[in-house]
Amino acid sequence: MVGALPDPDHPERVVLGGRELTNFSSNDYLGLRTHALLIRAATDCMQQHGFGAGAAHLICGHSIEHAALEVELAEFLGRERALLFSSGYLANLGVLSALASRHDLLVADRLNHASLLDGARLAGARLRRYPHGDIESCARLLENQGGARLIVTDGVFSMDGDVAPLRALAALAQQHGAWLVVDDAHGIGVLGAQGHGALEQAGLDAHSVPVLIGTLGKAFGSFGAFVAGDAALIDSLIQRARTYVYTTALPPAIAAAARAALGISQREPWRRRHLLRLVERFRAGAVALGLPLLPSATPIQPLIVGDSARALALSDALLGFDLWVSAIRPPTVPQGGARLRVTLSAAHSEAQVDVLLAALGEVFARETVGVG
C-alpha cells in the first residue's frame, strides 16, 4: 500500500484514496513526526544553510548541527560520546563489522533485526544464534564455543514487542568477558521514566552495556541513527566503521529536527505516560475480546494469526473501519508467524484505541463465523 502523508495536526491520521484512516502501523511512538518545532528547526536550518551536508563527516560534512546533536544524545543517554549514522541499518553494519572480525565469535538472539544479522555477516564473524530470549541457550553457546567477543541483541524486539532479558545478558557478558551490544531502536524515547530506553528500565549502566545503538526515525520522528558509548569506542568507530566513513552525512536540517525532537521528548514526559496508558488500555480490551496477544508491555502489540493470507484479510477488513494496521508476513517474521502488528502512539486518543478494539472484535468474530 502506498503510504499516505499525514495531516500535520494529526500525525496518527492519514488520507488514503479519499478516506481518512487512523494509523496503527507507524513507529512514530511519541507522535513527533509532524510536530511544529521539528518542522521549524528543519526549515530554519535549511533557509539559513541550504539542504545537503555536501560530503561525508570526515571530509567536510560534519556541521555544528551534527556535533550538537551528538553531544545532546550522549548527555541524554549518560554516555561519554555519541556518533551519528545515516540510518540504523548502516549503524548496525558499521558497528558489527568494526568490532568483530572473522576470528571472533558473535552470539545473537534469533529474532534480532535484519540489520544486525547483516552486520555480523559483513564482519565475517562466526555467528551463533540462540532461540529468542533463551538465556540458557545463550549461556551454553558461550560456554561451548570458546570466548565470544560480542553478545548482540535488540532492546525491544521490533516484531514481537517484548524486551530482551538484558540483566541476564549483561551478567553473562561480564562473566565471559564479552561486550554486550544493544540495539534499542524501539526503546529509546519510549521506555524508562526518563525515556532512556530498555536499559534504564532494566537498571543497567553504561559499564554493563558498552555499545548502545538507537535510531532517530522512530520515537524521535526524524531520520538517522547513532551509537553511544565511551570515547575510545567512538574513536575506533570513526576510524573503522565503513558505513560511517564512506557515506554522505545527514542533511544538517535533519539533525536540527532530531535535536528538536530530543528536547520535546525530555520536556514532555506526558507523551510516554499517555502512550503507556494506551498500551494498558489496548491490552485490557484485547484480553476481554480474547484476541491473540503476545506478552508485550511496549507500544508494539502484535496479534498472531499464523497464516499470511489470513493476516492480509484481517488487515483489509480493518481498512473497512478506516483503520490502518499492517499485516506482517514471513520472511519478516518466522514461517507460520504472520500477524497484525498494532503500534500505538502518544498521538492516539483513548477513543481511537477503543474504536480499534471494537473493530478488531468484529473482524475476528466475523472470521470465526465465516470459517465455521
Ligand X SMILES: *Cc1c(COP(=O)(O)O)cnc(C)c1O
> Is there binding between residue 57 and ligand X (CB under 6 A)?
no
> Which stretches of the chain are assigned E, i.e. beta strand?
6-7, 10-16, 19-23, 81-85, 105-109, 126-130, 148-154, 179-183, 211-215, 225-229, 300-306, 323-324, 326-328, 338-343
Site for ligand X contains 217 (CB under 6 A): yes
Q: Which of 269, 330, 333 is nearest to 300 (CA)?
A: 333
Site membership for ligand X, residue 153 (CB under 6 A): no
Bridge-partner residues for 323, per DSSP? 22
Shortest distance (Å) from residue 349 CB to ligand X:
25
Chain-centroid distance, C-alpha 275: 15
Q: Which three cell numbers stand for residue 355?
A: 474504536
Contact mark string toward ligand X, 326..365, x via CB under 6 A: ----------------------------------------
- Residues between 164 and 183 that touch ligand X (CB under 6 A): 183
Query: Taking the complex as a whole, how short is the minimal distance between the CB of residue 86 and ligand X, in angstroms?
Result: 8
Contact status, residue 56 vs residue 245, Cβ threshold 8 Å: yes
- Cα separation, 309 vs 307, in Å, equals 6
The answer to whether 111 contacts ligand X (rule: CB under 6 A) is no
CB 12 within 8 A of CB 5: no
As a whole number of angstroms, the distance between CA 182 and CA 186 comes to 11
Q: How far apart are CA 179 and CA 229, in angstroms?
A: 12
By beta-carbon distance, which residue lies closest to ligand X? 88
Q: Which is nearer to ligand X, 93 or 105 (CB)?
A: 93
Residues 121-140 that bind ligand X (CB under 6 A): none
Task: By CB under 6 A, tell whether 208 contacts ligand X.
Answer: no
Among the listed residues 218, 315, 326, 348, the single catalytic one is 218
Q: Which of 35, 79, 81, 113 binds ligand X (CB under 6 A)?
A: 113
- Determine if 154 is a binding residue for ligand X (CB under 6 A): yes
Catalytic residue of the set 26, 97, 115, 158: 158
How deeply is 294 buried, as exposed, middle or buried, from its count of CB atoms within 10 A (0-12, 13-18, 19+)?
A: middle
Answer yes or no whether residue 119 interacts with ligand X by CB under 6 A. no
Under rule CB under 6 A, residue 162 binds ligand X:
no
Go through the chain and tell me how many residues it has: 372
Q: Is 274 a catalytic residue?
A: no
Q: CB-based contacts of 21: which residues, under 8 Å, 6+ apart?
A: 4, 13, 14, 15, 319, 322, 323, 324
Kindly state the number of chain residues that form the binding site for ligand X, as judged by CB under 6 A: 14
Give me the least distance between CB of 116 and ligand X, in Å please: 7
Among 76, 89, 130, 226, binds ligand X (CB under 6 A): 89
221 belongs to the binding site for ligand X (CB under 6 A): no
Residues that bind ligand X (CB under 6 A): 87-89, 92, 113, 115, 154, 158, 183, 185-186, 215, 217, 225
Residues annotated catalytic, as ranges: 158, 186, 218
